Amino acid sequence: MTQAPDLPVVKATDLTKKYGAFTALDKLSIELLKGQILGFIGPNGAGKTTTIKILVGLAKPTAGEAYIVGCNCTTESKKIKRLVGYMPDTFGAYDNMRVQEYLDFFGAAFAIPRKQRRTRIDWVLETTGATHMRDLFVESLSHGMKQRIGIARTLLHDPPVLILDEPANGLDPTARVEMRQILLKLADMGKTLIVTSHILPELSRICNVVAIITGGKLRAFGSLDTIMHDLRQKRLFEVQLAGTADAAAAAARLSDLLGTSVPVEASQVEGLLRFSTTLADEELAHVLRELIARGVMVTQFREVQQDLEDAFLSVTRAAAEQDRLAADVPAPAAGGAVS
Amino acid sequence: MNNPVVERELTGMLRRGRTLAAQVIFASVLAAAVVLAWPHGGNVSLTGAQSQQVFRLFSYALLLGAIVIAPAFPAVSLVREKQAGTLALLLNSPLTPRAIFGGKLLGAVGFVLMLVVLSLPAAAACYVMGGVSLTGEIVPVYLILIAASIQYCAIALYMSLRARRVDGALRLAYAAVFVLAVLTMVPAEFTQGSMFTSLATAGDWVGAMSPLATMAGVLGQSVLTNAGTLTTSHTVAFLVISLCVTLLFSLLTIRRLGQRLFDQPRAAGKITDDRSGGVRFFRRVMYLWFFDPQRRSRLTGPLANPVFVKELRTSRFGRSHWLMRLVGLCLVVSLGLMLAAAYGAASAGSHVMGMILVLLQVALILLITPGLAGGLISSEVESGSWQLLQMTPLSARRIVTGKILSSLWTLFLLLLATVPGYLAMLVIDTSEAARVGRVLTALAVTALFALLTASAISAMFRKAATSTGTAYGVLLLVCVGTLGIWQGRGTLFGFQAVRAALLINPLAATLAAIGAPGFTPYQLIPANWYIMAVAGALAVGVMVVCVWRLTKPQ
């Protein structure tokens, strides 16, 4: 199935999934274009797997809709199976089966003709760098090898979308680099990838789109640059004090200069002050001058470069705070309204 | 209790609701049997025949329970720990292999012994009713039960350590128990009365390994034809042999239960096609090419059901070389029986040989089928590979067909290998052709019923061990449990009640077809076949619905 390149390959609108009173997923909306790699980030139990299961047609949403290449994930699950290559977080090995037999089974299940299947098996093994594993028994493979075979399996029927649940989980650094190269190669082929992972530095190297989800809610979604830019609006700074300086007193003086709404963290052991601010460089230069003028012994004043991990932590902390505040809101009085 | 493994095993087991349910059901059934036999309206049997009948019935029920339940828990115990990685943690703790094994064994035996203790009030009631001797019957029966339970738990633990998968462990454990409890009774059938005294003694000793034959001897009955001649000395022999077998398997398990368990290389994945010309030629000649386990498989054909091919490849007995080994074994046993039948026909009669053949074949069906089909669906669900199957365009119907056909093909080949035994019957007496035809039909019906029932059960559970264990339990209940009612014919149960019970028993129908004494008056054929056909169709229906539900989005 082909479609215009500017149309989203994956589209989810207000996806909601409830298990009884528990909301696993709350109005999640995402869109992905051809060749994009989405890094789907969230803590355990955030709703990542639920979203994936809905997208691959293994679960029905309570509300909302999801489409892959224009096919509805709920009502057209048969078509979805041919459009998506799904690698769950468990490998699903069959004992007593060699790699070629394993791939042959899934190829036959997708009704790939025998001659074409042979070529496909060769191709997927080569693409994933697993040709030498062809005759090995699946159960005897190491974790990294299994991950490669798992990806090879998802590629067998040449789907436009690949959904990989924790593909880098448990891999050693070399295998992780190789896995990254495989995923980038697949994106180059025009495949759209959705990748979940806890290894955020790894994701930041391959993803061009990021979705951060916590408590079933999508907290941030967009290109990696956009998210990092949004985050940069509040920059993190560190002030290194001279060895004997009183960090608590210095923090109080700095807090006076920044305004009480900006919390300043102080670490006496490290001799360090830390704060986040939206102030411009000129204003910060003024703060530094004042701080020194007030007798604080400063040896360094620096901006901390932030990465995806910081973005994730920042977004999840903000989300937790938001949820806490929402929980603290008193119930409205009868006949009243909450603005 | 100082051993934490015992505490974990026993308390873990006792915490489960189904353990309590099993205990309650067990005690209730025994109480019902006693109530049924209790003298009513002032009519008391002075000979104590009724209480003897109840005691026999519940002794066999207890033994059957021990045979079914005792291996079930220990068979999955170590293999599950291996799969979950907790065995490595246990071995890394200060606990010695002996302590780990002891804890596991005591935990498993403890549960079975609890059931045995629950039966004591019923035994006491039988004793009070009269006709049952304390030292001659009750004590020996309990000793046999306890010894058999400990022995089977020890064997099951060893099999659990050897197996790589839960269903494989169950299969191995039940196969070993079947050999020790049932097959050991067969040699005595041929050696008793032999002119060679040493041969007869050897047959007796082998027979003494079977708790069924020993218990039959204690209760003054016969399971087959000659087992009733066993005496009290055989009880002692059984206890001694049982102790030796327990010690042997315990030592084997403890020896294997060490760090060496994890110190094994990964399979190299050798392929004949990639080896030198000489080796290639040698292997192709040795294995007749097709049966070479290191042959590179061909891709699945365009007309083949991929699930069928996958099942044959993943199941150990599905691989051609393993299947041929099994078929060869069945053929040898069958030909051995044929030979024995030819020699012993004058004394025993061809129908006796036929009866032994039927019992062996049904036992083979009961042993193999739950192992083959009891985990067809549940093992996929448990291992997580079901999700992958769901992501393929395969329909529920195609999955079910492929899975059932794969088990049916294996079972068919195995049963086919036992058929030559019937040739002996036909050679001895050509007029037996019609009877042999009926028996073969009844066997086919039994095999199909067992296969479809086990397959349906496999689709109802999410764990392979539970489904395989349940399949064994249900089939044994239907095929052996209902024989308990037949045992009480004439005293506890009337003709109609016995017939109703036997009508759902394919083993009884097969025995009736061969003309086994005690079964012919009930006219079980063809009514039993119709019932089995309906039950089989229902099982297929249940399986299709369960699989269809599993393939649907959550």
Output B125 or A17, whichever has higher pLDDT.
A17
3-state DSSP call for residue A266? strand
b/e burial code for range B87-110 (CB count within 10 A of at least 16 → b): beebbeeebebebbbbbbbbbbbe
Output B491 or B451, whichever has higher pLDDT.
B451
Cβ B91 vs Cβ B81: under 8 Å: no
Is B391 part of a structural domain of the chain? yes
Is B522 part of a structural domain of the chain? yes
**Do B351 and B238 fall within a single domain?**
no
**Do B215 and B76 fall within a single domain?**
yes
Nearest-by-CA chain A residue for B552: A58
In the stretch 380-419 of chain B, residues with CB closer than 8 A to chain A read 383-394
Model confidence pLDDT, tens digit, residues A251-279: 988 988 888 777 888 888 888 998 888 88
Residue with tokens 């001799």: A271
Q: Which of A56, A60, A95 sits opposite B391 (nearest CB)?
A: A56
Residues in a beta bridge with A161: A84, A192
- pTM over 0.95? The answer is no
Which of A195-199, A248-252, B359-363, B485-489: highest mean pLDDT?
A248-252
3-state DSSP call for residue B522? helix
In terms of C-beta density within 10 A (0-12 exposed, 13-18 middle, 19 or more buried), how is residue B299 classed?
Answer: buried
- The pLDDT of residue B151: 95
Considering the four listed CATH numbers 3.30.70.100, 3.40.50.11540, 3.40.50.800, 3.30.10.20, the one that applies to the domain covering A233-303 is: 3.30.70.100
Helix (DSSP H) and strand (DSSP E) numbers for chain A: 11, 14
For residue B266, the distance in angstroms to the closest alpha carbon of chain A comes to 5
Residue B24: CB atoms within 10 Å: 11
Residue B413: CB atoms within 10 Å: 15
Per-residue CA distances from B474 to A60, A257, B259, B292, B451 (Å): 35, 80, 38, 37, 12
Q: How many angstroms separate the CA atoms of B440 and B361, rounded?
A: 10
* Position B321 pLDDT exceeds 70: yes
Q: Residue type at A229?
A: H
Q: Which of A60, A77, A137 sits opposite B269 (nearest CB)?
A: A137
3-state SS of A189-245 is CCCEEEEECCCHHHHHHHCCEEEEEECCEEEEEEEHHHHHHHHHCCEEEEEEECCCC
Residue with tokens 């099993």: B22
Is residue B299 less than 8 Å (CB to CB) from chain A? Answer: yes
* Position A81 pLDDT exceeds 70: yes
Is residue B84 less than 8 Å (CB to CB) from chain A? Answer: no
Question: Percentage of residues in chain A with pLDDT exceeding 70?
Answer: 94
Which residues, including other chains, have CB under 8 Å from residue B533's CB and lie 6 or more apart? B445
Chain A residues whose beta carbon lies within 8 Å of the beta carbon of residue B402: none
Nearest-by-CA chain B residue for A150: B388
Q: How many angstroms separate the CA atoms of B449 and B471, rounded?
A: 12
Q: Which of B315, B384, B392 sits opposite A106 (nearest CB)?
A: B392
Residue-averaged pLDDT of chain A: 84
Residue B266: CB atoms within 10 Å: 12
- Give residue B200's region: left, alpha or beta (phi > 0; psi -120 to 50): alpha
| Cα-to-chain-centroid distance, residue B357 | 17
Q: How far does chain A reach from its first CA to its final CA, in angstroms?
A: 47
Q: Is the CB of A59 less than 8 angstroms away from the CB of B554?
A: yes
Output B432 or A100, whichever has higher pLDDT.
A100
**Do B25 and B125 fall within a single domain?**
yes
* Position B346 pLDDT exceeds 60: no
The verdict on whether omega for the bond into residue B71 sits within 30 degrees of 0, i.e. cis, is: no
**Do B221 and B341 fall within a single domain?**
no
**Do B213 and B330 fall within a single domain?**
no
The verdict on whether omega for the bond into residue B526 sits within 30 degrees of 0, i.e. cis, is: yes
* Position B329 pLDDT exceeds 70: yes
Q: Is the CB of B390 less than 8 angstroms away from the CB of A58?
A: yes
**Do B123 and B233 fall within a single domain?**
yes
List the one residue out of B128, B49, B35, B64 whose CA is nearest residue B490.
B49
Q: How many angstroms separate the CA atoms of B496 and B484, rounded?
A: 15
A and B: number of Cβ contacts within 8 A: 111
Per-residue CA distances from B28 to A41, B31, B60, B524 (Å): 55, 5, 16, 30
Model confidence pLDDT, tens digit, residues A131-187: 988 888 888 888 888 888 998 999 999 999 999 988 887 777 888 888 888 889 888
Show me where the domains of chain A are located.
Answer: 10-223, 233-303
Residue A252: CB atoms within 10 Å: 12
Please give the average per-residue pLDDT across B61-68, as a whole number. Answer: 83
Residue B536: CB atoms within 10 Å: 19
**Do B165 and B246 fall within a single domain?**
yes
Q: How many angstroms separate the CA atoms of B54 and B511, rounded?
A: 24
Chain A residues whose beta carbon lies within 8 Å of the beta carbon of residue B394: 109
Question: Percentage of residues in chain B with pLDDT exceeding 70?
Answer: 87
3-state DSSP call for residue A24? strand
Chain A residues whose beta carbon lies within 8 Å of the beta carbon of residue B554: 53, 58-60
Please give the average per-residue pLDDT across B207-231, as a whole number. Answer: 70
Question: B201: number of CA atoms within 13 Å, CB side?
Answer: 3
Model confidence pLDDT, tens digit, residues A30-43: 999 998 999 998 88
Altogether, the residues listed in chain B come to a count of 554
Q: How far does chain B reach from its first CA to its final CA, in angstroms?
A: 45
- The pLDDT of residue B252: 93
Q: How many angstroms separate the CA atoms of A111 and A297, rounded?
A: 73
Nearest-by-CA chain A residue for B314: A96
| Number of domains making up chain B | 2
Is B280 part of a structural domain of the chain? no
Q: Which of B297, B316, B394 sits opposite A109 (nearest CB)?
A: B394
Per-residue CA distances from A278 to A132, A235, A281, A294 (Å): 54, 6, 9, 23
Domain boundary among B257, B275, B295: B257
Is B272 part of a structural domain of the chain? no
Cβ B389 vs Cβ B399: under 8 Å: yes
Q: Is the CB of B269 less than 8 angstroms away from the CB of A93?
A: no
Dihedral sign for Cα atoms in the order A226, A228, A195, A77: negative
Q: Which of B274, B393, B553 sits opposite A110 (nearest CB)?
A: B393
pLDDT band at A339 (very low <50, low <70, confident <90, very high): very low
Q: Is the CB of A153 less than 8 angstroms away from the CB of B388?
A: yes
Is B353 part of a structural domain of the chain? yes
Please give the average per-residue pLDDT across B514-543, as a whole number. Answer: 89
Nearest-by-CA chain A residue for B293: A96
Q: How many angstroms separate the CA atoms of A302 and B355, rounded?
A: 92
Residue B197: CB atoms within 10 Å: 9
Please give the average per-residue pLDDT across B56-79, as a whole number. Answer: 84
* Position B246 pLDDT exceeds 90: yes
For residue A283, the distance in angstroms to the closest alpha carbon of chain B comes to 56
Q: Is the CB of B314 less than 8 angstroms away from the CB of A58?
A: no
Q: How many angstroms separate the CA atoms of A302 and B324, rounded?
A: 75
List the one residue out of B98, B103, B112 whose CA is nearest residue B14.
B112
pLDDT band at B43 (very low <50, low <70, confident <90, very high): low
Residue-averaged pLDDT of chain B: 81
Q: How is residue B491 written in tokens?
A: 């005293």
Q: How many angstroms separate the CA atoms of A266 and A277, rounded?
A: 16
The DSSP output letter for B297 is P
Per-residue CA distances from B204 to B180, B199, B208, B220 (Å): 14, 9, 6, 16
Q: How many angstroms separate the CA atoms of A179 and A247, rounded?
A: 45
Q: Is the CB of B313 less than 8 angstroms away from the CB of A153?
A: no
Domain boundary among B233, B257, B281: B257
pLDDT band at B349 (very low <50, low <70, confident <90, very high): low
List the one residue out of B236, B71, B58, B65 whose CA is nearest residue B150.
B71
This model of the complex carries an ipTM of: 0.71
Q: Are strands A63-68 and A71-72 parallel, antiparallel or unpaired?
A: antiparallel
Beta strands in chain A (DSSP E): 10-19, 22-32, 37-41, 63-68, 71-72, 84-87, 161-165, 192-196, 209-214, 217-223, 235-241, 265-267, 272-277, 298-303
For residue B138, the distance in angstroms to the closest alpha carbon of chain A comes to 47
Q: How is residue A85 written in tokens?
A: 């290559």
- The pLDDT of residue A117: 92
Residue B1: CB atoms within 10 Å: 10
Residues of chain A that touch chain B, judged by Cβ-Cβ distance less than 8 Å: 53, 56-60, 74, 77-78, 81-82, 84, 86, 88, 90-98, 100-101, 104-111, 113-114, 117-118, 135-137, 139-142, 153
Q: How many angstroms separate the CA atoms of B78 and B101, rounded?
A: 9
**Alpha-carbon Rg for chain A in angstroms:** 25
Output B187 or A133, whichever has higher pLDDT.
A133
* Position B154 pLDDT exceeds 90: yes
- The pLDDT of residue B153: 94
Cβ A156 vs Cβ A164: under 8 Å: no
Please give the average per-residue pLDDT across B417-441, as a whole number. Answer: 78
pLDDT band at B189 (very low <50, low <70, confident <90, very high): low
Enclosing domain of residue B137: 4-39+47-257
Model confidence pLDDT, tens digit, residues B289-302: 777 777 778 888 88
pLDDT band at A333 (very low <50, low <70, confident <90, very high): very low
- The pLDDT of residue B187: 75
Residue with tokens 């060769």: A122
* Position B201 pLDDT exceeds 60: yes
> Into which CATH architecture does domain A10-223 fall?
3-Layer(aba) Sandwich (3.40)
For residue B294, the distance in angstroms to the closest alpha carbon of chain A comes to 9
3-state DSSP call for residue A40? strand
Q: Is the CB of B384 less than 8 angstroms away from the CB of A57?
A: no
**Do B495 and B371 fall within a single domain?**
yes
Nearest-by-CA chain B residue for A19: B554
List the one residue out of A119, A88, A126 whose CA is nearest residue A104.
A119
Q: Which of B314, B384, B553 sits opposite A95 (nearest CB)?
A: B314
Model confidence pLDDT, tens digit, residues A236-250: 889 999 877 788 889
Cβ B528 vs Cβ B517: under 8 Å: no
Nearest-by-CA chain B residue for A61: B554
